Amino acid sequence: MNTDHRPVYIDLRKINLPVSALISITHRISGMYVFFVTLPVALCLIYFSTKNVNTFNSLVNFLNGNLVLKIVIIFSFCVLWYHILSGVRHLIMDAHIGESLTASHYSAIFTISFWVLSSSYIFWSLLA
């Protein structure tokens, strides 16, 4: 009988998670990013763009001259888009549609690939 109660070292880099688990984890991380970054940035942009014409024009001029801030804003909205897509996937799975392992795997791959394609299209069309 082994009575050794020492802690077991588990190397997290060697654990292979399924794609559906990765999309679930990244959905939670993107939710935190949306709450702490995207929402305040969007509210700030809406506030300054609707305050008056002068602040709107100064905001437009500031965004046109600052490529880094423009990329951060586009990235934030791409993260919001990912959060929406993976949230819809989770809601569909909550309705007991596509709960099997293969359906979950393929829906995760479809969600990620659709997000990459649509976000890259949006990203390049807004920067061009």
The answer to whether the CB of 89 falls within 8 A of the CB of 111 is: yes
Integer Cα distance of 111 and 43 in angstroms: 27
87: CATH = 1.20.1300
The pLDDT-based confidence of 9 (bands split at 50, 70, 90) is confident
Tokens of 116: 């990459």
- Residue 15: inside a domain: no
- Residue 115: inside a domain: yes
- Write out the residue range of the structural domain in which residue 84 sits: 30-127
- Residue 118: inside a domain: yes
Reported as a single tens digit per residue, the pLDDT across 55-65 is 999 999 998 88
If one counts the domains in the chain, the total is 1
Mean pLDDT of 17-21: 90
Residue 1 has pLDDT above 80, yes or no: no
Residue 85 DSSP one-character state: H
Amino acid occupying residue 68: V
Reported as a single tens digit per residue, the pLDDT across 77-110 is 999 999 999 999 999 999 999 889 999 999 999 9
Integer Cα distance of 86 and 105 in angstroms: 13
